[in-house]
């Protein structure tokens, strides 16, 4: 075995380890939204809504980059905890010169959401509970929420779109109104 192969093996091992570690820590892997899901979610975003578009857990950047490209006049933000997907999405952002996109390596639970007009996410049940609590306590304006696969636990969606894929993946759309 030569040194080059050994170094490559160590790098691959560290990458896998980092993804497994962050999956255990956050509760979900950095799985990307499918192209059908991205297209459907982006179609639900109103370009005329003033305010930030935020991806809560932007992963490798699949959805947040497509959103920033489709809406060049909107300020788009992504929060991601897992460092490798975040780094890759940062590199893509600079390669594609997306000046309207900001990517933070940060927990969305400690992020400021009050300036958002649209939230997109592909989280997991506990993540949706955390989001609902955050909305109830911190968001005092109307917000459109588009969620891939997972619903908010006690909030009625405005509509549910079923993707024409193997799992008939649901896309939940909410028009959140503060109480
Ligand atoms: C299933 S991926 C979705 C990625 C991307 N939004 C998409 O649709 O392609 C979910 C991502 O959320 C991230 N995540 C989970 N909890 C988070 C949190 N509290 N703050 C920031 N990111 C989080 C995970 O690390 C993971 O990369």
Residue 141 lies inside a defined structural domain of this protein:
yes
- Return the residue whose CA atom lies nearest to atom 13 of ligand 1: 57
CA of 27 to the centre of ligand 1 (A): 9
- Return the residue whose CA atom lies nearest to atom 2 of ligand 1: 30
Residue 73 lies inside a defined structural domain of this protein:
yes
Q: How far is CA 125 from CA 15, 50, 97, 128, in A?
A: 26, 29, 34, 5
Residue 156 lies inside a defined structural domain of this protein:
yes
Residue 104, by phi and psi: left (phi above 0), alpha (psi -120 to 50) or beta?
Answer: beta
Cβ–Cβ under 8 Å, residues 143 and 117:
yes
d(CA 25, CA 149): 20
CATH number at residue 128: 3.40.50.150
Q: What is the pLDDT along the chain (179 residues), one digit of tens a residue?
A: 688 889 999 999 999 998 999 899 888 899 999 999 999 999 999 888 889 999 999 999 999 999 999 999 999 999 999 999 999 999 999 999 999 999 999 999 999 999 999 999 999 999 999 999 999 999 989 999 999 999 999 999 999 999 999 999 999 999 998 87
- Domain coverage including residue 117: 32-176
Residue 163 lies inside a defined structural domain of this protein:
yes
Residue 1 lies inside a defined structural domain of this protein:
no
d(CA 44, CA 146): 7
Q: Domain total for the chain?
A: 1
Residue 98 lies inside a defined structural domain of this protein:
yes
d(CA 103, CA 90): 7
């Amino acid at each position: 075995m030569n040194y080059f192969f050994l170094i490559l093996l160590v790098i691959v091992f560290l990458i896998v380890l980092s993804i497994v570690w962050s999956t255990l820590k956050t509760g979900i892997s950095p799985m990307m939204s499918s192209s059908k899901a991205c297209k459907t979610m982006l179609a639900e975003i109103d370009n005329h809504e003033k305010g930030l578009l935020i991806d809560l857990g932007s992963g490798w950047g699949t959805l947040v980059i497509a959103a920033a490209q489709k809406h060049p006049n909107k300020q788009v933000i992504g929060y991601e905890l897992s460092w490798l997907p975040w780094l890759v999405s940062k590199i893509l952002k600079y390669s594609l010169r997306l000046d309207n996109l900001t990517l933070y390596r940060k927990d969305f639970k400690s992020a400021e959401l009050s300036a958002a007009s649209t939230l997109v996410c592909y989280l997991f049940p506990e993540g949706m509970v955390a989001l609902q609590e955050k909305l109830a306590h911190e968001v005092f304006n109307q917000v459109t929420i588009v969620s891939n696969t997972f619903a908010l636990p006690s909030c009625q969606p405005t509509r549910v779109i079923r993707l024409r894929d193997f799992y008939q993946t649901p896309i939940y759309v909410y028009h959140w109104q503060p109480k």
